[in-house]
């Protein structure tokens, strides 16, 4: 896990009234799992930075057009992805329905949330 990446993501994209809770829970293994379980129906995203994808192109292409590099940091209910820096395309190609993810593309600036149904919300500050 990368505490700096996670702190940057939380401070940029989680609703202000929920940030302290995320920053408290993510570093601890037991608390982290409880928090990850809540990603399935995450209502903690700051609505001021959340947008629906604007194009019909694949989400990876849209994120790259917004400045995303080839790799990203993932917070996920899928243990194989959680807390890892991974190629952006791999994250979406290996996405397993039923999992939820917070993806940091450009720390504090660009990311996305993917729910358990594969619906993607772009996060941009």
Helix, strand, coil shares of the chain, percent, nearest 5, are: 40, 25, 35
> Distance between CA atoms of 107 and 125, rounded to whole angstroms?
10
Are the CB atoms for 104 and 36 separated by under 8 Å?
no
Tell me what pLDDT residue 93 has.
82
Tell me what pLDDT residue 96 has.
66
Question: What are the backbone dihedrals phi and psi of residue 54, each rounded to the nearest 5 degrees, phi first?
Answer: -95, -10
> Distance between CA atoms of 76 and 23, rounded to whole angstroms?
15
Tell me what pLDDT residue 94 has.
76
Tell me what pLDDT residue 7 has.
94
Lookup: tokens for 101:
């993810």
Tell me what pLDDT residue 80 has.
86
Could you tell me the sign of the dihedral formed by the alpha carbons of 9, 70, 98, 62, in that order?
A: positive
In sequence order, the β-bridge partners of residue 114 are 101, 120
Q: Residues in the chain with pLDDT < 50?
A: none
């Amino acid at each position: 896990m990368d505490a700096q990446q996670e702190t940057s993501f939380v401070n940029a994209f989680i609703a202000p009234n929920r940030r302290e809770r995320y920053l408290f829970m993510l570093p601890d293994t037991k608390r982290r799992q409880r928090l990850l379980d809540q990603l399935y129906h995450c209502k903690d995203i700051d609505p001021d930075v959340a947008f629906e994808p604007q194009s019909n192109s694949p989400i990876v292409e849209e994120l790259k057009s917004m400045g995303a590099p080839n790799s990203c940091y993932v917070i996920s209910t899928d243990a194989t992805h959680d807390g890892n820096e991974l190629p952006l395309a791999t994250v979406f190609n290996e996405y397993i329905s039923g999992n939820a993810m917070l993806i940091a593309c450009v720390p504090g600036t660009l990311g996305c949330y993917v729910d358990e149904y594969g619906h993607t919300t772009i996060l941009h500050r």
